[in-house]
Amino acid sequence: MTYNKRLDGRKLDETRPIEAKVGIIERADGSAIFKIGQTIAYAAVYGPRNLYPKFMQDPQKGILRVNYNMMPFSGHGERVRPGGSRRAKEISMVTEKALLPVIDLSDFPNAVVDVFIELPQTDAGTRCAGICAAAMALADAGIMMKDLVSAVAVGCIDGTVIADLNYDEEAFEGKVADIPVAILPNSGEISLLQMDGEVSQENIKDAIELAKKVTKNIYEIQKQALKDKFKVGE
Amino acid sequence: MSKLLVKDKDIAVPGEALAEGMDYLPGNGTYREGDNIHAARLGLVNVDGRAIKIVPLTGRYLPKRGDTIIVKVQEIVMSGWILDTNSAYTAMLNMKDATSEFIQKGSDLTQYFSFGDYIICKIVNVTTQMLIDVTTKGPGLRKLRGGRVIKVNTNKVPRIIGKKGSMVSMIKQATGSRIIVGQNGVIWLEGEDPKMELLAVETINKIAEESHIAGLTDRIKEFLEQQTGKQIELRTEEGEPNDVQ
């Protein structure tokens, strides 16, 4: 049995519909929303601002602090217990590491830039949606960045490489691999690569190539969203 | 052959290629990679001859020497006052930079500037570690009494002040308010009556919102004339703290 028709009828390399908007949280220094299908990620950036406790300060450059949070009734099935979890802590960490290569905080010694990612509704691909939203929010906050970051989850079901898995595909019975990839669109460098499940060597190569292709479109959407914020009135 | 990939006054997104070739020079907010120049932040592209720079539209205040800013007293220490600058860093006002009066050792510093007071001061020095020294010695620098304080995006401050203070003087003239604009995006204002004070606040917020759209001065002039029913003439002013840019 091969998986050649997707559960929701998408093409193999087609993502769910994407919507992005910048500057949605008035009180934050920068903010963005990134929707991909049923998955919704909000990102709010505060700072650079002063950092306490003092031992966390870095006198050579500012630090980035990311907080990823899935809201209690956001997902499928069981309610997620509010507050941090081991999973949220890990995703916060990998998101931070995915964003760090592009941002330059050398002008802000001892300070911190806080990024809060909130997911009111989830349907797989949350860390990628979070990274996309956070990259836009950081740009909106006027942080020096050499590039944006675009991310997508690619995967492989029974030997078929597909883009942007939803929850049903992730939970598909059979051999499933879920591979979130974050890419710096201009240089093509990869800043996040994780995998869950199993794939063959050829499939993973194809999957990464597919991720590069798909993130190009995502980058265009992010770029447009940032430019639209300053569009001259109708 | 060098080529410009964007137009002047376009919005650039971080990482976006702005120009190809070595004939263009990377200015503030841009960087060169290989032969190309890319944007290093979100902002307006400004092409000045061969130099390309990005004029920021968002972001918090970054303290600079010579800026006149409005600060709030946060803490009082042995040698002076620690001030909130509406940026990532606090500033220090030393006793000797605060007043020419002799201050007895161990005396109560709140009689000069107390907690929560707003002060208009000038940045004397900023170190690489972002230790900031300010002074209140100078024309127009003092404690601000009464009035109200609002905060705007620091990148809009030059628009609010206008060329040689033309915009802010227009608001002052139309609303009869006293206004002081700090480079850090903190604005102090006091109107002769509450209605006019509110109108001044509204106008400032309008400027901050629409500053990137052409014809700003005319639009604001029209808005103020319509709101106050007065005829406004454009003029610049000098000698006020606002002109210290």
CA distance B53 to A96: 28
Spatial separation of the C-alpha atoms in residues B155 and B87, rounded to whole Å = 13
How confident is residue B235, by pLDDT bands cut at 50, 70 and 90?
low
* B211 vs A: CB within 8 A: no
Chain B residues touching A141 at Cβ < 8 A: 58-60
Question: Is residue A49 within 8 angstroms of chain B, CB to CB?
Answer: yes
The predicted-structure confidence for A31-83, as pLDDT tens digits, reads as follows 999 999 999 999 999 989 999 999 999 999 999 999 999 999 998 878 888 98
Which of A103, A182, A178 has its CA nearest to residue A138?
A103
Please give the tally of structural domains in chain A: 1
Chain A closest-CA separation from residue B132 CA (Å): 13
Q: How far apart are CA A67 and CA A127, in angstroms?
A: 11
Non-local (6+) Cβ contacts of B194 within 8 A are none
Superfamily of domain B148-237: K Homology domain, type 1 (3.30.1370.10)
- Chain B contacts of A99, Cβ < 8 Å? none
Give residue limits of the domains in chain B.
3-56, 68-144, 148-237
CATH architecture label of B68-144: Beta Barrel (2.40)
Whether residue A39 lies inside any domain: the answer is yes
User: Is B13's Cβ below 8 Å from some Cβ in A?
Assistant: yes
- Say if residue B203's pLDDT is above 70: yes
How many angstroms separate the CA atoms of B9 and A229, rounded? 15
Structure tokens at A56: 């966390």
Q: What is the residue range of A160's domain?
A: 18-227
**Closest Cβ–Cβ partner in B33, B62, B214 for A107:** B62
pLDDT, tens only, A183-212: 999 999 999 999 999 999 999 999 999 999
Q: Which residue do the tokens 């006149």 mark?
A: B68
Residue with the two structure tokens 């910048």: A22
d(CA B166, CA B218): 12
CATH 2.40.50.100 holds for B3-56: yes
Strand ranges across the sheet with A39-50: A18-22, A30-36, A39-50, A111-121, A63-70
Tell me phi and psi for residue B228, to 5 degrees: -100, -20
Q: Residues 78..97 of B with a Cβ closer than 8 Å to A: which?
A: 87-90
**Residue B38 at interface with chain A, using a CB cutoff of 8 Å:** yes
Q: Considering only A5-19, A205-219, B216-230, which range has the smallest mean pLDDT? A: B216-230
Tell me what the mean pLDDT of segment B59-81 comes to. Answer: 95
Domain annotation covers residue A8: no
Within 8 A of B214 by CB-CB distance, chain A residues are 232
| DSSP H or E run through A39 | strand A39-50
CATH of residue A64's domain is 3.30.230.70
Q: Is residue A233 domain-resident? A: no
Decide if A148 is inside a domain: yes
CB within 8 Å: A223 and B40: no
Does pLDDT of B244 surpass 50? no
Domains B3-56 and B68-144 share a fold: yes
